[in-house]
Amino acid sequence: MEMRQLRYFVTVVEEANFTRAAARLHLAQPGLSAQIRRLERELGQPLLERGARSVTLTPVGAAVLPHARAALDAAEQIVRTVDDFTGLLRGQVRLGFVSGTASEDFELATVLAGFHEDHPGVGISLTEHTSEQMLAALHRGELDIALIGLTGADIEPAVGVDVVLDTAIVAAVAFDSDAPRTAISLHEVAQHRLICLPRGTGIRGVFDRACATAGLAPEVTYEAATPPLLLQLAAHGLGTAIVPKLTAVEAEDFGVRTIPIVEPELRGQLALVWRRDRPGNPAAKVLLGQLRIALGGR
């Protein structure tokens, strides 16, 4: 008994006709009929009643059918298991991340190095871009995993989201600017010359949405790809930077003072995203799990 004979038998039953089954299997009808007869001889019982226009199951055939289907399902699962193992040996993972996240704070290099040590045959391609572009690439199937800043826009349920960082968004000004303040409203911030991340980034998206909701149209004088560069510009008195919250030591090192934004308070979130509605390759699943463990709980 061969697996192909079981597949032929199940297909003939599903089509209830040898001609249609042969066409579906891309076989000549005489050859298909010969294989079914050979299976019946091996089992010692007829499995099919051959009518002029249709084929039906004999009682023995009806009893055999669920076992034949189970055997085919088991064989398919074996193939999937081997494919999964092969994927972990010779797969490819496409990872995207927003500018500024490949730093010691997130240890992406450490995670990737550990993954490579465990799975040396898996290639990893890295792409750095804005959050919106990363999310679009994920939708197009060009990325397996992305580390993005959430803009506040709705994300479809098919996309898995794991927030790995949640922080306040603050205004940063030169240390020797006006007298220190304990807080500043969004309306007041919008009156300043602003230094922001580019459109399409998470923090910029949150800020722009908040301003639009409040009916504000702020002037963004300078744009830069990473928060450290924004802070350097602010430290030179070129404007007010909109950045993630800093510690007192970090602010002092950059030569700035930070002021919490209130009315409303703004939050920046960094998240791992992936497609939940597609099978994905085994290597990507393993790397995603390692990234979630390494970056979680911040």
Three-state secondary structure string covering 90-121: HCEEEEEEECCCCCCCCCHHHHHHHHHHHCCC
Which 8-state DSSP code applies to residue 47? -
Helix, coil or strand: residue 144? coil
End-to-end CA distance of the chain: 57
- Regarding whether 108 and 85 lie in a shared domain, the answer is no
pLDDT of residue 110: 83
- Kindly state whether residues 112 and 66 are assigned to the same domain: no
Do residues 189 and 256 share a domain? yes
pLDDT score recorded for residue 102? 55
Alpha carbons 289 and 294: distance in angstroms, whole number: 9
Tell me: do 142 and 65 sit in the same domain: no
- Report pLDDT for 92: 84
Domain ranges, residue 63:
3-89
In this structure, the answer to whether residues 119 and 163 fall within a common structural domain is yes
| pTM, entire model | 0.68
AA letter at 203: I
Give the CATH number for residue 124.
3.40.190.290
**Structure token digits, residue 264:** 């409303």
Are residues 255 and 192 both part of a single domain? yes
- Among 36, 67, 89, the domain-final residue is 89
84 and 97 inside one domain: no
CATH number at residue 13: 1.10.10.10
Choosing from 89, 124, 155, the residue where a domain stops is 89
78 CB contacts (<8 Å, ≥6 apart)?
A: none
Q: What confidence score (pLDDT) does residue 294 get?
A: 83
Q: Are both 42 and 105 inside the same structural domain?
A: no
Residues 84 and 230 in one domain: no
Of 89, 110, 131, which closes a domain? 89
The DSSP letter of residue 11 is H
Count of structural domains, the chain: 2
The reported pLDDT for the residue numbered 104 is 47
**Residue 249: CA atoms inside 13 Å, Cβ hemisphere, count?**
0
Write the Ramachandran bin of 256: left for phi over 0, alpha for psi from -120 to 50, otherwise beta: beta
SS3 107: coil
Both 35 and 106 in a single domain?
no
Residue 59 and residue 111 in one domain:
no
Q: Residue 285: its pLDDT value, please?
A: 86
243 and 155 within one domain? yes
What pLDDT score does 83 carry? 62
Which stretches in the chain have pLDDT values below 50? 104, 298
- Return the H-helix or E-strand segment holding 94: strand 92-98
